[in-house]
Amino acid sequence: MFRQAFSSALLLSASLTVFLAGSSAAHAESRVALVIGESAYRAVPSLPNPVNDAKAIGKLLADSGFEVTTASDLSQKEFNQTVGDFTAEIAARGPDTVALVFYAGHGLQIDGENYLVPVDVDPRREADIPLQAVRLNDILNTLNSVPTRMRILLLDACRNNPFPALNQTAGRGLALVDTKTGAPGTFLSYSTSPGAEAEDGSGADSPYTSALLTAARTPGLPIEQAFKQVRVAVNKATDGRQTPWESSSLTEDFKFVAATDVRDANAAPIPPALGAPKHTVEQWKRDLHGKQPDVAHEMVVSDGTLEAYQAYDALFAQSQFAPEIEEWIMRYRKMVAWNEAVTINTAASYRSFLAEYPDTDLSITARALVERLRYRPSPLPQVAALNTCTPPLAPNAPSSPVMKKADVAPAHDPEPRVTIKKVSVTPKRDPEPPVRTLPPRREVFADGPVYDGPYGGPPMRPFRPAGFGLGFHGGGMMGRPMGFGQRF
């Protein structure tokens, strides 16, 4: 009996040890956050909620174990300095750090690039935004420059464009950003879909921040499941006018608040979206079949994928949610096509976008980029074939052609294709100079016959046994060659 009780006590102690170790491991990571709220804009009307949103999110993150830096109403210089200081703090913490940035305020897309808007921005034209605002990709690149466990960016930044000079040329909302194309371990959330505008809200906080404050406090809830709840809550609060959007390349789980009981702590973690297979349209049709339109709508909004929306559009074309679903599908397809055109960044890619979407909020920008790229200097031609050695042919193989082709980048417009041909030419050799043959020289001696010397050499006389003699002809005075042969 004592042995059984002792074994039970050991088992209970081991279970408590595992639980406590798991709980402490969840908080062993270093958590740092930068929270920015931009409300007091100088050139346009102020926004009432961003500063309130920043304070509320800062408290949420502090309660979740983050060391929080809060800043508000920053100029461009202050904004950049704050991000730089935050990055230095991340680097000092080490690679096992979770870095989170929350931003509330205005955001714009110019030429397919997203910009966060400091309070001192006062643009007169589109070209002023890159000089006066803060590029979102610069923040992402700065965070990626130091090793971290994961990076989380939450942007309540898709409010309407307040600058009259840009209303006719800049696209609505923010451009699509796919975190899967960058370094793994990044989670990015927009307060509404790419290409759409978010609402500031009539309460103390925006609809996005209000929903996040509720979902993030749920114990043991993974971040991607939390933002599924945020999508549904914001969609309901705005009657379908606003639906948040996320892109994730996380490779491990993250929870704002750790689990509070043993069952939640020991439960198998929900796989992150990066590794989870997507449902096809047909699978979604089977899942939605027989559901009430409102229930099916909530399932689709929670999932947030194109396949789910397409399945709903096919099954519930007559429901009250059909216009919202159709608009979401059209906008999403347009933003994906725009992202592809901007990524390729050629006149041809923008023409392809215009052929499919000739009259949208992005059409003016696309036409301007086509015109701008027409005068872009062409790169040096990449003629690989001219430096390629032809390997020897196998026995009985057909002879290779003498001429080869290589594509060359066009001078101004990428659509025409220029071909350079390689011609194998045998180098020309200068002919060897002809051997000059001199005529035989002849010289007549008074006392006997002579023999011509070889190649015009001096004439030679036969040896005469009658006497022996040695003599020398002076070649300088008489113009005669030197030689032997005078007798004594």
| pLDDT tens profile 50-72 | 999 999 999 999 999 999 999 99
193 close to 243: Cβ distance less than 8 angstroms: yes
Residue 186 is assigned to a structural domain of this protein: yes
Take residue 411 and report the two structure tokens written for it: 């001078």
**198 and 312 both lie in a single domain:** no
Contacts of residue 443, Cβ cutoff 8 Å, sequence gap at least 6: 450, 458, 459
pLDDT of residue 15: 43
pLDDT of residue 398: 44
**172 and 271 both lie in a single domain:** yes
Strands 134-135 and 113-116: antiparallel
**284 and 187 both lie in a single domain:** no
Distance between CA atoms of residues 330 and 310, nearest Å: 11
Q: What is the mean pLDDT of the chain?
A: 77
399 close to 387: Cβ distance less than 8 angstroms: no
Q: At what angle do helices 322-344 and 347-356 cross, to 10 degrees?
A: 160
Specify the higher pLDDT residue, 271 or 309. Answer: 309
pLDDT reading at 2 higher than 70: no
Distance between CA atoms of residues 277 and 155, nearest Å: 26
Query: What's the mean pLDDT in 251-279?
Result: 65
Q: How many domains is the chain partitioned into structurally?
A: 2
pLDDT digits (tens, 9 = 90+) for 144-153: 889 999 999 9
pLDDT reading at 325 higher than 80: yes
Each residue of 133-154: b (16+ CB within 10 Å) or e?
A: bbebeebbeebeebebbbbbbb
Residue 123 is assigned to a structural domain of this protein: yes
**174 and 233 both lie in a single domain:** yes
Q: What is the CATH number of the domain that holds 159?
A: 3.40.50.1460
Tell which residue, 183, 188, 209, has the closest CA to residue 61: 209
397 pLDDT band, cuts 50/70/90, is very low
**295 and 268 both lie in a single domain:** no
pLDDT digits (tens, 9 = 90+) for 68-118: 999 999 999 999 999 999 999 999 999 999 999 999 999 999 998 999 999
pLDDT of residue 201: 75
Each residue of 35-68: b (16+ CB within 10 Å) or e?
A: bbbbbebeeeeebebbbbbbbbbbebbeebbbeb
Q: At what angle do helices 207-215 and 50-63 cross, to 10 degrees?
A: 10
Owning domain of residue 346: 277-386
**97 and 180 both lie in a single domain:** yes
Specify the higher pLDDT residue, 267 or 305. Answer: 305
pLDDT reading at 465 higher than 70: no
Specify the higher pLDDT residue, 304 or 463. Answer: 304
184 close to 219: Cβ distance less than 8 angstroms: no
**265 and 225 both lie in a single domain:** yes
Specify the higher pLDDT residue, 41 or 10. Answer: 41
Residue at which a domain ends, from 364, 386, 408: 386
Residue 324 is assigned to a structural domain of this protein: yes
pLDDT digits (tens, 9 = 90+) for 117-142: 999 999 988 889 999 999 999 999 99
Residue 56 is assigned to a structural domain of this protein: yes
448: left (phi over 0), alpha (psi -120 to 50) or beta: left
pLDDT of residue 90: 95
430 pLDDT band, cuts 50/70/90, is low
Residue at which a domain ends, from 220, 253, 275: 275
Distance between CA atoms of residues 32 and 90, nearest Å: 7
pLDDT digits (tens, 9 = 90+) for 199-213: 877 778 899 999 999
Contacts of residue 201, Cβ cutoff 8 Å, sequence gap at least 6: 49, 207, 210
120: left (phi over 0), alpha (psi -120 to 50) or beta: alpha
**147 and 253 both lie in a single domain:** yes
> Does the model's pTM come out above 0.95?
no
pLDDT of residue 26: 44
Residue 362 is assigned to a structural domain of this protein: yes
- φ/ψ of residue 168, rounded to 5: -90, -15
Residue 339 is assigned to a structural domain of this protein: yes
Take residue 202 and report the two structure tokens written for it: 């009539």
pLDDT digits (tens, 9 = 90+) for 168-198: 778 888 999 888 777 789 999 999 999 998 8
Residue 463 is assigned to a structural domain of this protein: no
pLDDT of residue 458: 53
Residue at which a domain ends, from 352, 386, 420: 386
**268 and 290 both lie in a single domain:** no
pLDDT reading at 265 higher than 60: no
Distance between CA atoms of residues 152 and 248, nearest Å: 9
325 close to 313: Cβ distance less than 8 angstroms: yes
**134 and 205 both lie in a single domain:** yes
Q: What percent of the chain has pLDDT over 90?
A: 53
349 close to 415: Cβ distance less than 8 angstroms: no
Range among 64-68, 273-277, 402-406 with highest mean pLDDT value: 64-68
**328 and 266 both lie in a single domain:** no
Residue 395 is assigned to a structural domain of this protein: no
**85 and 184 both lie in a single domain:** yes
Specify the higher pLDDT residue, 317 or 439. Answer: 317
